[in-house]
């Protein structure tokens, strides 16, 4: 049982409790998870006698840790040392969280399910907080404004862009919030069919439509597309009968149609994918998200080519991009200091082909292992993360690092222990 007398708590109970708190607050501003991480680190260090050292040999752990270690190596040949050190600090979750999971004794399925449930609850609370604060600001500050807690100022926006700004109330944005929501939706489906307690299943039934609604509201296009493609693959790979697969597929189509019918903003963003003229010249369609990416990717490839074979190093990637923006007169890109908006390109820019190979291996090796062991929730998580990495540098921000480090460590340690047993 989760709740028991304090004096009855053992080492694994306290470890489990810390993981529950982390899963609950990982959606919220970084200080929450940072403080929990400090406590977890101290707890982990004082319980080294329980370590399972063979877990350190796992290829999944080594591939994840390599993403951090190469940041440290890249710092050695960076000109911007302080920028590189800042990236090193933000990426610490890539080494600490997986090492904790792979060295501590494995958790039971019941406890892993509880962690997933707390993550769903935390996501729902984050959604409700964003909705509540947004509507409060609408009524107190005017229909076209709301308070941006990150910048401590009132922001004025058009109504059709209002939804994308909501995640700023928890110091996030629509891309990362969309990633969290999509994974929480996957957890809802997994737990709904896996939990026996009907009370939790009722909770999940209430949470799922709320998450779907907010995903459309914030217009997280890539997360939405990743949800669609990954869900189709999950239906195809699942062992349920054909009738159930057809029902799930039709249910997904209905949800998709209903969501698009009530959200013109999402329809507009998806339709941009098929506006071929937007791809021709970077500055031709400044309001088109994809057109704005044309300039970014043009300069990213130029910078990659100019810095082969070992890349710019950890701290100089943005400097190389800015030089290209300036040369091509991409003023808006230069003023905003836009990064590569592609995690694969970002690692390639910093470390050359070695960086690209390491990042790709850290994603696709666990994908193969999850398919092999039919761990479909792990597979869903990795597929969504891999696809969202095509349009965002997920591992340059704490939100992405914490999510990947925590759940890749949680699932990866389970998959590795299953193989060894």
Q: Which residue has the tokens 């130029």?
A: 302
C-alpha 31/C-alpha 11 separation (Å) is 25
C-alpha 110/C-alpha 107 separation (Å) is 8
For the segment 343-351, the average pLDDT, to the nearest whole number, is 96
C-alpha 390/C-alpha 383 separation (Å) is 11
Question: Binning pLDDT at 50, 70 and 90, where does residue 248 land?
Answer: confident
115, 157: one domain: yes
Residue 71 located in a structural domain: yes
C-alpha 11/C-alpha 50 separation (Å) is 9
181, 319: one domain: no
By percentage, how much of the chain surpasses pLDDT 90?
Answer: 47
- Give the closest residue to 334 by CA, choosing from 317, 316, 321: 321
Last residue of a domain, one of 336, 364, 384: 336
Q: Which residue has the higher pLDDT, 54 or 382?
A: 382
Please state the domain count of the chain. Answer: 2
Residue 57 located in a structural domain: yes
294, 278 Cβ separation under 8 angstroms: yes
Question: Binning pLDDT at 50, 70 and 90, where does residue 421 land?
Answer: very low
249, 315: one domain: no
pLDDT of residue 1: 45
110, 205: one domain: yes
Residue 113 located in a structural domain: yes
C-alpha 47/C-alpha 349 separation (Å) is 40
Last residue of a domain, one of 336, 364, 381: 336
- Give the closest residue to 363 by CA, choosing from 73, 64, 39, 84: 64
DSSP run (H or E) holding 199: helix 198-217
Residue ranges with strand state E in 76-141: none
Residue 315 in this model has a pLDDT that exceeds 70: yes
Pair of tokens at residue 44: 């982990």
254, 268: one domain: yes
74, 132: one domain: yes
Last residue of a domain, one of 294, 320, 336: 336
- Whole-Å CA distances, 14 to 52, 102, 390: 18, 17, 38
99, 189: one domain: yes
The predicted-structure confidence for 68-117, as pLDDT tens digits, reads as follows 999 999 999 999 999 999 999 889 999 999 999 999 988 999 999 999 99
282, 415: one domain: no
218, 125: one domain: yes
350, 230: one domain: yes
Write down the mean pLDDT value for the chain.
83
Residue 6 in this model has a pLDDT that exceeds 50: no
294, 151: one domain: no
C-alpha 168/C-alpha 130 separation (Å) is 8
Residue 233 located in a structural domain: yes
Residue 360 located in a structural domain: yes
Residue 8 in this model has a pLDDT that exceeds 70: no
62, 191: one domain: yes
Range of the structural domain that residue 61 is part of: 6-276+340-420
Question: Binning pLDDT at 50, 70 and 90, where does residue 286 land?
Answer: very low
Pair of tokens at residue 402: 């914490």
Residue 230 located in a structural domain: yes
Question: Binning pLDDT at 50, 70 and 90, where does residue 263 land?
Answer: low
CB proximity list for 164: less than 8 A, separation 6 or greater: 173, 174, 218, 219, 265
Residue 1 located in a structural domain: no
Residue 284 in this model has a pLDDT that exceeds 50: no
pLDDT of residue 2: 46
């Amino acid at each position: 049982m989760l709740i028991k007398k304090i004096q009855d708590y053992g080492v694994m109970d306290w470890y489990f409790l810390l993981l529950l708190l982390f899963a609950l607050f990982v959606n919220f501003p970084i200080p929450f998870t940072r403080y929990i991480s400090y406590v977890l680190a101290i707890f982990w260090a004082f319980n080294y006698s329980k370590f399972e050292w063979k877990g350190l040999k796992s290829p999944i752990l080594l591939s994840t840790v390599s993403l951090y270690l190469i940041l440290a190596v890249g710092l050695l040949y960076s000109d911007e040392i302080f920028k590189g050190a800042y990236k090193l600090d933000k990426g610490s979750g890539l080494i600490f969280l997986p090492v904790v999971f792979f060295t501590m004794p494995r958790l039971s399925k019941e406890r892993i399910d509880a962690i997933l449930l707390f993550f769903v609850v935390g996501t729902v609370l984050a959604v409700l907080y964003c909705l509540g604060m947004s509507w409060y600001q609408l009524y107190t500050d005017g229909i076209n404004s709301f308070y941006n807690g990150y910048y401590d100022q009132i922001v004025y926006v058009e109504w059709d862009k209002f939804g994308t700004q909501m995640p700023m109330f928890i110091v996030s944005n629509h891309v990362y919030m969309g990633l969290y929501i999509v994974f929480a939706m996957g957890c809802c489906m997994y737990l709904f069919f896996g939990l026996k307690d009907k009370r939790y299943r009722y909770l999940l039934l209430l949470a799922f439509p709320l998450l779907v609604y907010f995903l459309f509201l914030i217009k997280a296009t890539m997360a939405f597309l990743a949800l669609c493609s990954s869900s189709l693959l999950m239906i195809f790979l699942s062992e349920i009968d054909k009738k159930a697969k057809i029902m799930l597929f039709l249910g997904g189509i209905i949800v998709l149609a209903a969501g698009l019918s009530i959200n013109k903003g999402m329809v507009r963003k998806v339709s941009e994918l098929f506006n071929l003229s937007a791809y021709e010249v970077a500055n031709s369609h400044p309001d088109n998200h994809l057109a704005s990416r044309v300039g970014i990717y043009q300069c990213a490839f130029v910078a990659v080519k100019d810095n082969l074979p070992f890349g710019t190093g950890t701290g100089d990637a943005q400097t190389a991009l800015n030089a290209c923006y300036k040369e091509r007169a991409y003023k808006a890109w230069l003023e905003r200091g836009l990064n590569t908006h592609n995690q694969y390109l970002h690692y390639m820019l910093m470390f050359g082909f070695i960086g690209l190979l390491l990042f790709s291996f850290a994603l696709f090796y666990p994908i193969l292992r999850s398919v092999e062991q039919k761990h479909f929730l792990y597979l869903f998580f990795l597929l969504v993360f891999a696809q969202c990495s095509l349009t965002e540098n997920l591992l340059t921000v704490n939100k992405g690092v914490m999510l990947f480090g925590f759940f890749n460590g949680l699932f990866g340690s389970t998959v590795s222990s299953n193989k060894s047993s």
